[in-house]
Each structure stands twice: as structure tokens, then as C-alpha cells.
Amino acid sequence: MKAKQRDYVATGLLWLAALAVIALLGWFLAFILARGLPVFDLEFFIGKDGVGAQLFNSFYILALSLLFSLPVGLSAGIYLAEYAPANKLTDLIRLSTESLATVPSIVFGLFGMIIFVNLLGLGFTIIGGAATLALLNLPILVRVTEEAISAVPESYKEASLALGANMWQTLRKVILPTALPGLTTGITLVAGRALGETAILIFTGGMNVSRHMFDVNPLAAGETLAVHLFAVQSNPLPGTNAEQIADGTAALLIIVVLIFNLCLSLPIRRYQKRLMGK
Amino acid sequence: MANRKSSVKLTNQLSKYFFLSCAVLVSLIIISIVWFVGVQGLSTFRQASVLEFFTGTNWNPETNHYGALTFITGSLATTAIAIILGGPFGLAVAVFMAEIAPAKIRSLMRPATDLFAGIPSVVYGYVGLTVFIDLIRKTTHSATGYGLLASGIVLAIMILPTVISISEDSLRSLPNTYKEASLALGATRWQTIWKVLLPAATPGVLTAVILAMARAIGETMAVQMVIGNSSRFPQSLVSPTSTLTSNIVMEMGNTPFGSTWNNALFMMSFILLCISLLLIILVRSASRKGESH
């Protein structure tokens, strides 16, 4: 039975590949946390070379970028899911969304640099960084919204329309509330990814932090955690323990990503399953 | 009453047009990215030779030599290594998740691959720098360990989530009857996977590989940290060189906006943009082929 033996061998190899992926992920997390966690102390966060300002900037820029991208992304997604007729314009919009999703982030960075740093003459700013980061979020938000809305059973919509509600009322009272868990999961994943983005922000948000801690001025330069990790590795400042700062920053980034991926999106996904009755 | 009715109607109309204009805005954004980056990049050739840019390896902006072939080669080579290493591995994991994994293990692996995708690229670069470089230097006895191999390995890990999730989806979306027919004919599970399921899922797997290429060629931070950043044409897999993305990061800060040198960097990003748009067109034709099956 040669075929049967081959089947065993192949099954074994496939199990091995899967275990290797899990092991790789586990090793990654363990390695980064083991090096970084011992660095965490008060000095690391609020000391002279501390990363408190970068941590603040990361969330500040993320929040601003979502402020720009959420309304547009959600609306475009709603349009594609509920309104878009099968015509040339819809094709163009779909092609644009897919293209935007594969644009390398460094290209977004350079585009943002032309617009915000040079044309508008702002220099490296938090607002420029956030607006450019919004472009990265946008296509993912459109897709996530379209998927979440398309997952709502057609009968919900039909029932609402049959009761005499118009499309806007149906969207607001029936479709969006039902799609909310799916939307929230998608938005959390988008946020987790945007938090780690670097290439865009180097060219738009800059590699400096304001001298005032927790500067909310959107025209100040805003180095984020991810940019900081890059900066301390490529140009370690003399007189600082750059290696330890890098270890700590990497661990901090991983923890933030873990929080976004596990603590926020998993429970929502479970809740969504219950809601959809699956 | 009539007033409220007409305002309800108006909101309904207005909301529709608002949604439409947001959707059109997405198109306008991609068009203006192509326009602005393209204009800035192409103005390189008012001073530099097109032929030298694409075929020359002499990158010496101080003496007006803009041969970018080294960077183009670097980008293509790292992407190729990443696909060769990460593609089959990711596909194997996808097959495992779609066909073999018990439900419990599968429900663990989905979030695990999401997490892989969520790890920031600087963190991949950081691990590459602290672990892989040393490892490569010791095992290959090269001078530094930086180069195409290190970048290719880091990228191979980074493309795994793309390859895994899209291939798995396409395997899962095959009609159950394919599998049942094959098993009913007495084929083993592996024969069914190899002879029936994988060929049927080819368009989806191709899409996965193309999108992985797009991710690999545009990746910047992780590559910049392990490629070595030398503008020399790669002598081997383990000699320091550069890619389009890494060179943009290295030189952008030192060049004034509007200079030929600076424009040449924009031209490099325009090449990246064109490649990624080309890959999207390929994805579309791959998935169209899938539909006609």
C-alpha cells in the first residue's frame, strides 16, 4: 500500500509545518518579552530617555487617523455593500480600494511628505502623520465594513423595508446594529496594525518628540513607539543605553499589539457568533 | 406631519449621496497618489538618463550617476527568496488548517496567524537584527551577515499570514462534492489534496502568492534593518546591498526636496507603486479565471 504510506508521511509533514508556525510565533513572543520586560521600570517610561511621550504619540496619532478614516471608510463600505449598482463607477471604486490596499506603506509616506511636509509647508507634524496613516487604514476599513454588512441576513433588511422604513432608517436601526460586532473586530485589527506602522510616519510625523511631555498640539512633531524602535537601532544616541531601550520598546509594542488582538477582538468575535446564532 | 415626512425623505437621499461621495473619494485618493508620486519621480529624467537608471549599477548622485539597477535587483531578489521559502511553507499550513486540523486546533491557529500579521514590521526587523544576522554570519562565515538572505528570511516569515489566510479561504470555499467524489473513488486524503483540491484551488493560491509578493516588495523597515544598506550590486546572498525601499529610507533625509537625487528616490517609490498596481491587475485576472471554472 504505497499510497497509504504516502498519505501518512504527508499528513505528518503537514502537522509539522503547522507546529512549526505555532512554535515560531511562540518563540517570537517569548524572545521579545524575555528581553524587554526586565527593562520596564519607571525610568523607562518617564525618565530622560523614556518612551512615555512616544507611547502617548502612538495612541494620539492612531486616534486622529481613525477620526479621518472611519467616516470615509465606513461610508464607502456601506455604499459598496448596499447601494452600488453594477456599473463602471462601482468597478472603478472596487479597483481603487484593492489598489489602495496594496500600495506599499513607504509610497503613502512619500505621498504624505509631498502633500503635508512640502506643499502645505507644515514640516513633520502629528496631523500630517495621522492624515497619511488614515490612507493606510482606509481600504481595510472599506473591506471590513462591506464584509460585516454583507454578513447581515438579507431577511432583516427586507423585513424593515417591508414595514415602510426607508433605506437610511433600515441602515441606522437594523443593519448597522447587527453588523456592529463585525465592524468592531475589523476596526480593532486596523488599529492594531496602524499602531505598528513606521515607514509612513518617518516621512510625515518625524523622528522627534516635542519637548513637552504629552504635547497635544497637532502641529508638533510626533515620534511614535514604532518609529522610536527604528530610530534607536539605526542611530543610537551616544550616552544612552540604546540596546535596552530597543528591547523595552519592542516588548511594549508587542504587548500593545497583543492587547488589541486578543483582549479586544477575541471576546467580540465570540459575542458575534452568539448574536448570529452560529 | 408633511414636514417630517419630507425631512425623512431628504435624509435618506442625502445619506445616499454622502456614501457615494466617500466611495468616489477612495478613487480620487489612489489617482492623486499615482499623479503626485509619478510627476515627482518622472522629473528625475530631466537630468538623469532613463537607460542608466534602469540598467546601470553606478549609484553616485554626487557625480550625476543614477544607476538604480542594484536596488531594483535587491527588491526583486529578496521578494523571490521570500516566496520560495515562505510560499510552500504557508501553503502547507493552509492545507493543514483547511483539511486536517481538528476543529479545536484550527480555532487556535486562525487568531495565531492574525497575530503574526499584527506584529509591526520594525519588530520583525529588530528580531532579524538581534538574532538572524548573527546566526547567518556564523553559519555562512560571511563578513557581516547582512544581505539578501537575511532580508529574504525575515520577509518569508512576514508573508506567512497572507499566504496562509488566503489559501485556506480558497481551499475552504471549494464545493464539498469534490472531496467526497475523490474519497469515494478510494483515493487517500493526501491524493485528494494533491490531485483534486489543490488544482481546484489554484486561482486562490495564486492570488495568495501575488499578494504576498506585493507585501514583500513594498516592505521597508524590516528589510532596511537587515539588508546592510550598501549601494554595491549584490556579490552573494550574504553581502550587504540595498533594495528600493531601504535606499529611500536611507537617503530621503539627506537630500533636499526637488533635487534630482531626491526625485530619483521618488522615482524608486513610483516603480514600487507601478509594481503593486500591476500585481493587483494580475490578482484580478487570476480570480476571474477562478470564476470561469
Rounded Cα gap, residues A268 and A255, in angstroms: 19
Among B26, B106, B213, the residue to mutate for chain A (most A Cβ within 10 A): B26
B116 and A25 in contact by Cβ < 8 A?
Answer: yes
Mutation target to probe the A interface, by most A beta carbons within 10 A, among B22, B189, B266 is B22
Residue that wins the pLDDT comparison between B292 and A154: A154
From the list B8, B36, B229, the residue with the least C-alpha distance to A165 is B8
Structure confidence by residue, pLDDT tens digits, A49-58: 777 788 888 8
**What digits encode the pLDDT tens for the residues A126-165?**
888 899 999 999 999 999 999 899 988 888 888 998 898 8
More confident residue, B38 or A124: B38
Examine residue B230 and state whether it is found in any structural domain, yes or no.
Answer: yes
Q: Is the pLDDT of residue A271 over 90?
A: no
Domain containing residue B112: 76-164+210-292
Q: Count of CB contacts below 8 A, A vs B?
A: 255
The rounded mean pLDDT for chain A is: 85
Instruction: Give the per-residue pLDDT at B206.
Output: 92
Mean pLDDT, range B80-99, rounded to an integer: 94
How much of chain B, in percent, has pLDDT values that exceed 70? 98
In a domain, B7, yes or no: no
| In the predicted structure, residue B231 carries a pLDDT above the cut 70 | yes
**Measured CA angle at B164 (ends B159, B167), to 5 deg:** 120
Residue A278: band (very low, low, confident or very high) from pLDDT cuts 50, 70, 90: very low
Q: Which residues contact B171 (CB under 8 A, 6 or more apart)?
A: B94, B95, B98, B99, B197, B198, B201, B204
Residue B111 sits at the chain A interface (C-beta within 8 Å): yes
Phi-psi sector, A239: left (phi>0), alpha (psi -120 to 50), beta: left
Nearest-CB residue to B15 (from A84, A168, A229): A168
- SS3 labels along B43-85: HHHHCCCHHHHHHCCCEEHHHCEECCHHHHHHHHHHHHHHHHH
* Residue from A230, A264, A265 to probe the interface with B (highest B Cβ count within 10 Å): A230
**pLDDT bucket at A44, cuts 50 / 70 / 90:** confident
Chain A, 72 to 101: residues with Cβ < 8 Å from chain B are 72-73, 75-76, 78-80, 82-84, 89, 92-93, 95-100
Cβ contacts (< 8 Å) between B25 and chain A: which residues? 72, 76
Mean pLDDT of A81-88: 88
Could you tell me if A112 lies within 8 Å of chain B, comparing CB atoms?
Answer: no
Mean pLDDT of chain B: 89
Whether B201 maps to a domain, the answer reads no
Scanning B50-69 for CB atoms below 8 A from A yields: none
Q: Is residue B150 part of a domain?
A: yes
Contact B12 A169 (CB under 8 A): yes
Asked if the Cβ–Cβ distance from A83 to B12 is below 8 Å, we say no
Q: Decide if B114 and A14 are in contact by the 8 Å CB cutoff.
A: no
Q: What is the pLDDT of residues B241-258, one digit of tens each?
A: 899 999 999 888 888 888
The most confident of A163-167, B21-25, B61-65, by mean pLDDT? B21-25
Structural domain includes residue B141: yes
Answer left, alpha or beta for residue B228, where phi above 0 means left and psi between -120 and 50 means alpha.
Answer: left
Cross-strand partners of B65: B60
Q: What ipTM describes this predicted complex?
A: 0.91
| Domains of chain A in sequence order | 40-275 (1.10.3720.10)
Nearest by CB to A246, from B40, B96, B126: name it. Answer: B126
Q: What is the number of domains present in chain B? A: 1
| B5: in domain | no
Q: What is the pLDDT, as a whole number, of residue B1? A: 52
Looking at the complex, report in whole angstroms how far the Cα of residue A41 sits from the nearest Cα belonging to chain B.
Answer: 21
- pLDDT for position B37: 93
Residue B169, min C-alpha distance to chain A (Å): 14
> pLDDT by residue (tens digit) across B118-171?
889 999 998 998 888 888 888 888 888 888 999 999 999 999 999 999 999 999
pLDDT, mean of residues A29-45: 84
Residue partners of B165: CB distance under 8 A and separation at least 6: B94, B113, B117, B208
Chain segment A187-217, per-residue pLDDT in tens? 888 888 888 888 888 888 877 766 566 667 7
The verdict on residue B286 lying in a domain is yes
Question: Is B94 domain-assigned?
Answer: yes
- How would DSSP label each residue in B142-199? -SS--SHHHHHHHHHHHHHHHHHHHHHHHHHTS-HHHHHHHHHTT--HHHIIIIIIHH
Which residue reads 467616516 in cell numbers? A71
Question: Cell numbers 503635508 label which residue?
Answer: A116
Closest residue on chain A to B36 (Cα) = A111
> Is the torsion defined by CA of A226, A230, A233, A238 positive or negative?
negative
- Residues of B with CB below 8 A from A17's CB? 89, 92-93, 96
What local confidence, expressed as pLDDT, does residue A214 receive? 64
Give the CATH number for residue B220: 1.10.3720
Q: Which residues, numbered 48 to 67 in chain A, qualify as contacts with chain B under a Cβ-Cβ cut-off of 8 Å?
A: none
